[in-house]
Structure 1
Amino acid sequence: MNYFKKIFRFARPYKKYAVFNIICNIFYALFATLSMVSLIPMLTVLFGDAENITTPPVYEGLAHLKPYIEDYLNYYITTTRSTKGAEYTLGVMVVVIISLFLLKNFFNYLAMFFITFLRNGVLKDVRNAMYKKVVELPIAYFSEKRKGDVIARISSDVLEIQHSFLSILELVVREPLTIIFTIVAMFALSPKLTLFVFIFIPVSGFIISMIGKRLKKQSDKAQLEQGYFLSVIEETLGGLKVIKGFNSENYFNKRFRDSTKRFYNLSNKILNRQNLASPASEFLGIIVIAILLWYGGHMVLIENSLSGATFIAYMGLAYNILTPAKSISKASYGVKKGNAAAERVLSILEEKNPIADTENAVRKNSFDKEINIQNINFQYEEEKVLKNFSLRIPKGKTIALVGQSGSGKSTIANLITRFYDVQQGSISIDGTDIRNMELQSLRGLMGLVTQDSILFNDTVKTNVALGKEDASDQEVEEALKVANAYEFVQQLPNGIYTNIGDSGNKLSGGQKQRLSIARAVLKNPPIMILDEATSALDTESEKLVQNALENMMKNRTSLVIAHRLSTIQNADLIVVMQKGEIAEQGTHDELMARNGTYKKLVDMQSFD
């Protein structure tokens, strides 16, 4: 229950529904017991067992409550039958029974009605909290996790918790109360017979707990497997062209089939173990009822210490315990499965975010002087990417980073934007360490255009206006013009309100990249970071995008990470990187004159 206690904080806003549910469950348990006890007077009328009492009994206190109720019942049956007949008396008893069963089911419905708001409210709030956490967690977290596993936790694991909330309230309130009220009624009718029930409950509970011992462990494995095959689906949809192009359908089909087979076997074990609870508890109950029939029959026929009507009602009460006992065993399984799901959900919710605002974080809304990168060392796991790297980026200047793949260019962009935190050294903006700045204000100063044009399944306007959600149509169109994208957007069926499909797949690579640039233009930040923004484009698209980039970089501070060196010839400073260190730096003409690493890179590209 440890994990559930932590999940219960999500139930606090809905506690009134839990209170109403508990109240309704109390009445349900009460009327469930009374509806069975009410059979006694009807059976008494049918069998003609009522003792003839013609004077109303006198109430002598709580200690004599049972004989008072019996005497009053016999008095009512005797007088009503003598004045209005046996048929009328039987009719009254039937109406009483129907009314009690109606009340029982009415409160059952109300209990389920109120719990619905609690369950669905917790489901909504846990999912919202998980999505918020997923968005907040650093990019490094998801390089170690399968996306499908995260999706499984937000979808099926949270759904399992939702179902378990109902199980807990049944386990704690509804069914135990039904059993308690029933046992009290049974004890009032016959203390001797009731002793058998006290033997049955602990024995049954022990056997059921033995059946369900390994359920949580198997549930964990099943959820992990579900996360794996969801990852396979996500990878398949993302890489469908490659799968088809390399005729790899059989390989991926096999991966998916193997995973679903493992999930099938685990699910069978879990459900078979879970399904064993109900018949096991019912069988144990029938054994006890058989003993009760034998012993109760002896009391009715031999000892004459129990009336036939009371014995039949007593048997109904005894059987009435079986339903809540089965429900408790099922609910305990639900809680075990839910606890496993809660553990997986909480592992994300309680994940510490290393890249977060400090207590006294500074809000900075302007960029005035320079970005200063000092003596940075950085590594991914065991691989050292940057070694004692230092660089000044003055305001209004364009700085280009070039070098072979793996030389650390993109890492610098990731560190400036705080997608990752520096491990040694510091990065400051106008003298303020970026780790002491509010994340939103830091990223508010920057526009980002990456090699991969990341677009969303929405309209052109929504994609362009991500950094400025209240932008007008005119502002969006102006940004599109700067990015050389206005012409093709105009030709779309609904202009800026055209949906561009999943990841913008209705557009070409160059069109997608120009929309990414328009998005950065509309945000209008003082610092622009371009991470190989033209490397994936053909020559014609590259020229259009390069013009758009030049338009965007006017009067801005820009950090350009370039693969194609032809795009950065006009940069104020070109920094050539090699194995995480600066090999050389200067303007294009200066570096060409040195006849060093930069010239070799230019010559190689020219040769290509």
Structure 2
Amino acid sequence: MGYFKDILKYEKKYRRFTVLNIVFNILYAFFNVLSVLAFIPVLNILFGAEKRVIDKPEYNNISDLGNYLEGSFNYFISQKIISEGEIKALSLICIISLSLFFFKNFFRYLASYVITFLRTGIVKDLRDNLYHKIVELPISYFSEKRKGDIIARMTSDVQEVEVSILTSIETLVREPLTVIISIGIMLFMSVKLTLFVFILLPVSGFIISSISKKLKAKSIKAQKETGTFLSFIEETLTGLRIIKGFNAENVIEKKFNNSTLSFKQLMTSVFHRQTLASPMSEFLGSATIITILWFGGTEVLNNTSTLEAGKFMGYIVLFYTVLNPIKLITTTFYNIQKGEASAERIMSVLNTKNEIKDLPNANAKEGFNDKIEFKNISFKYKKEYVLKDFSLTINKGETVALVGQSGSGKSTLANLITRFYDVNKGEVLIDGQNIKSITKKSLRGLMGIVSQDSILFNDTVENNIKLGSQNASHDAIKEASEIANAAEFIEDLPEKYLTNIGDSGNTLSGGQKQRLSIARAVLKNPPIMILDEATSALDTESEQLVQVALEKMMQNRTSLVIAHRLSTIQKANLIVVMKKGEIVEQGKHEELLAKKGEYFKLVTMQSLS
């Protein structure tokens, strides 16, 4: 139960609720056992099965405390019967019994009430920590994971932990207390019979545990399959237009149905094993009672036991009181085994090491003064190197454009300068300082990013623009929108800057979304701008509007432009032509055309197309 312990580490913050729960459960267990025990001597005296106690018992020592308490209670009831009659005594007994049951359930309620704060608190902390970890982890982690699987860990896995593990915490506190108190009294009543019980219970426990061996393994597979079909849902919603356009509904639906069928088969097996826990434990408990009844009854009938017939029946009733807690503990064990699978999936994310992190002596860089250098860098995503011994210098105020075929390593440079990935060899320097010695927050604070895909959020226009500048005034937001050529269409929206643009900004056109992305970068006002194929997905009219916006934005800034459409980079200070991770040409637009090399071929191909 290693992962169960990992989840319980979150309990420290809510220790006061744990302590209160234990206190209330001790009181519950005490009144629970007392409510059963109270009936035995009372009914014996009331209906004449036992002689009434006339002489008040005397306390001798601690070892005789049990007999003294039992005798005192019998004396109290006997005196009530003698002085007030059997009917009034019966009424008093009913009131006492009712009071015992009231306090038993009252403390049970209080225990459940306080444990709720622990449960909901741990669930909140788990989700918060998972979200923090997801935001913190490098982009490389998610390139190998399904989005649906990550969502499943934050939703169904956390829910499973709450249902299976956190609801089990109270059972693990309350029921063992009831068992301990009951067995303590059973030992007092008959050591021999109780030792016989201790021999029977482990046999029952072994049978039960052997059934649950595969429960955790099946649960892990089931939770993994949850992630798979959630990924199908996420991919379907994202690519619905393509699915419908290619009449591929049946193909995708078949894949989803196969995933849910696999999940159904796994969960059927899990539930079958889980539901077997309660009836199996009850049957084994009943078998234990019958065995005790035979063994103890034989002893009583042969007069070889210290128990009288009435007390032996009380012993059986008391043992039956122990059975339900044992049954609950058994069911809880099954639940924890099922929840362990989800806990393992959650902790695997939380325990993932972030390779891209600030060094202990990293410093915050305030501004950009001189140049950016890629110094003999090599980088690979998996096995093959995307960049090989690559070097490039970008001076302050320059616009450097990277061009080349897909897979030549252009976007990789943008990922490396922002430390979304770290180089395998070489160094990336800003003002002569290795970016690994700069805090990630201050490094990324120097940069504005406009990517090919306009990443917008389901929020207002204003909140999307001020994403990286939360304290920006409305006037500053309007000014950034004007520079980005976005103010005109924003003013035509129903609620202008307070208009919600929908999921991923889908109420806007491609050009409008891109101009909002540019406005966001302009408002941040960084000294370094990274444009990753910012116009490649646009039509000609939108491209012209966005290109004007980009030119305004790049004024007096250092810009790294990754270009697909070569018409957008003719004014660059330096054009770098890349092929298979290496520089094959560099120079200004006219110089490169005059060489009639790789750049000339690219321009000619685009012109013909």
Q: Distance in 2 between matches of 1:354 and 1:469?
A: 29
Q: Which residue of 2 aligns with 1:574?
A: 575
SS in 1 for 2:547: helix
TM-aligned CA deviation for residue 311 of structure 1: 3.8
Q: Which residue of 2 aligns with 1:354?
A: 355
1:160-175 paired onto structure 2 within 5 Å: 160-166=160-166, 169-170=169-170, 172-175=172-175
Q: Distance in 1 between matches of 2:323 and 2:21?
A: 22
Seen in structure 2, the aligned counterparts of structure 1 residues 66 and 347 have a Cα distance that, compared at 3 Å, is closer
Q: Is the 8 A contact 2:212 2:334 kept in 1?
A: yes
Q: Distance in 2 between matches of 1:511 and 1:169?
A: 53
Q: Which residue of 1 aligns with 2:324?
A: 323
Q: Is the 8 A contact 1:161 1:338 kept in 2?
A: yes
Seen in structure 2, the aligned counterparts of structure 1 residues 243 and 352 have a Cα distance that, compared at 3 Å, is same
User: Which range moves more in the overlay, 284-293 or 173-182?
Assistant: 284-293
Q: Distance in 1 between matches of 2:228 and 2:320?
A: 45
Q: Which residue of 1 aligns with 2:418?
A: 417
Q: Which residue of 2 aligns with 1:503?
A: 504
Q: Which residue of 1 aligns with 2:432?
A: 431
SS in 2 for 1:385: strand
The superposition leaves residues 466-485 of structure 1 with CA deviations (integer Å, 9 ceiling, x where unpaired) of 11011121111111111001
Matched, 1:17 2:17: yes
Q: Distance in 1 between matches of 2:29 and 2:220?
A: 34
SS in 1 for 2:466: helix
Q: Distance in 2 between matches of 1:223 and 1:63?
A: 54
The superposition leaves residues 224-251 of structure 1 with CA deviations (integer Å, 9 ceiling, x where unpaired) of 1111111111111111111111111111
Q: Which residue of 2 aligns with 1:236?
A: 236
TM-aligned CA deviation for residue 566 of structure 1: 0.7
Q: Which residue of 2 aligns with 1:401?
A: 402
Q: Which residue of 1 aligns with 2:208?
A: 208
Q: Distance in 1 between matches of 2:200 and 2:295?
A: 15
The superposition leaves residues 548-574 of structure 1 with CA deviations (integer Å, 9 ceiling, x where unpaired) of 001101111111111111111111111
Q: Is the 8 A contact 1:45 1:90 kept in 2?
A: no
Q: Is the 8 A contact 2:387 2:580 kept in 1?
A: yes
Q: Distance in 2 between matches of 1:432 and 1:56?
A: 91
TM-aligned CA deviation for residue 601 of structure 1: 1.2
TM-aligned CA deviation for residue 296 of structure 1: 5.0
Q: Percent identity?
A: 57
Counterpart amino acid of residue 434 in structure 1:
I
Q: Distance in 2 between matches of 1:296 and 1:378?
A: 78
1:444-593 paired onto structure 2 within 5 Å: 444-593=445-594
TM-aligned CA deviation for residue 36 of structure 1: 0.6
Q: Which residue of 2 aligns with 1:248?
A: 248
1:370-389 paired onto structure 2 within 5 Å: 370-389=371-390
The superposition leaves residues 426-450 of structure 1 with CA deviations (integer Å, 9 ceiling, x where unpaired) of 1101000111110010000000000
The superposition leaves residues 137-183 of structure 1 with CA deviations (integer Å, 9 ceiling, x where unpaired) of 11111111111111111112222222344355346432221111111
Q: Distance in 2 between matches of 1:255 and 1:542?
A: 38
SS in 2 for 1:428: strand
The superposition leaves residues 120-143 of structure 1 with CA deviations (integer Å, 9 ceiling, x where unpaired) of 111111111111111111111111
Q: Is the 8 A contact 1:399 1:575 kept in 2?
A: yes
TM-aligned CA deviation for residue 299 of structure 1: 6.0
TM-aligned CA deviation for residue 105 of structure 1: 1.0
User: Which range moves more in the overlay, 297-306 or 211-220?
Assistant: 297-306
Q: Is the 8 A contact 1:160 1:338 kept in 2?
A: yes
SS in 2 for 1:574: strand
TM-aligned CA deviation for residue 300 of structure 1: 6.2
Seen in structure 2, the aligned counterparts of structure 1 residues 89 and 298 have a Cα distance that, compared at 3 Å, is farther
1:79-94 paired onto structure 2 within 5 Å: 79-94=79-94
SS in 1 for 2:379: strand
User: Which range moves more in the overlay, 298-307 or 149-158?
Assistant: 298-307
Give unpaired runs (5+ residues) of structure 2: none
TM-aligned CA deviation for residue 543 of structure 1: 0.6
Q: Is the 8 A contact 1:43 1:309 kept in 2?
A: no
Q: Distance in 2 between matches of 1:481 and 1:204?
A: 77
Seen in structure 2, the aligned counterparts of structure 1 residues 43 and 409 have a Cα distance that, compared at 3 Å, is same
Q: Which residue of 2 aligns with 1:36?
A: 36
Q: Distance in 2 between matches of 1:561 and 1:277?
A: 61
Q: Which residue of 2 aligns with 1:199?
A: 199
Q: Which residue of 2 aligns with 1:605?
A: 606
Counterpart amino acid of residue 2 in structure 1:
G
1:131-150 paired onto structure 2 within 5 Å: 131-150=131-150
Q: Which residue of 2 aligns with 1:68?
A: 68
TM-score (norm 1): 0.97
Question: What is the count of residue pairs matched by the alignment?
Answer: 608
Matched, 1:218 2:200: no
SS in 2 for 1:569: coil
User: Which range moves more in the overlay, 451-460 or 99-108?
Assistant: 99-108
Counterpart amino acid of residue 493 in structure 1:
P
CA-atom RMSD in angstroms: 1.7
Seen in structure 2, the aligned counterparts of structure 1 residues 74 and 360 have a Cα distance that, compared at 3 Å, is closer
Q: Distance in 2 between matches of 1:307 and 1:170?
A: 37
Give unpaired runs (5+ residues) of structure 1: none
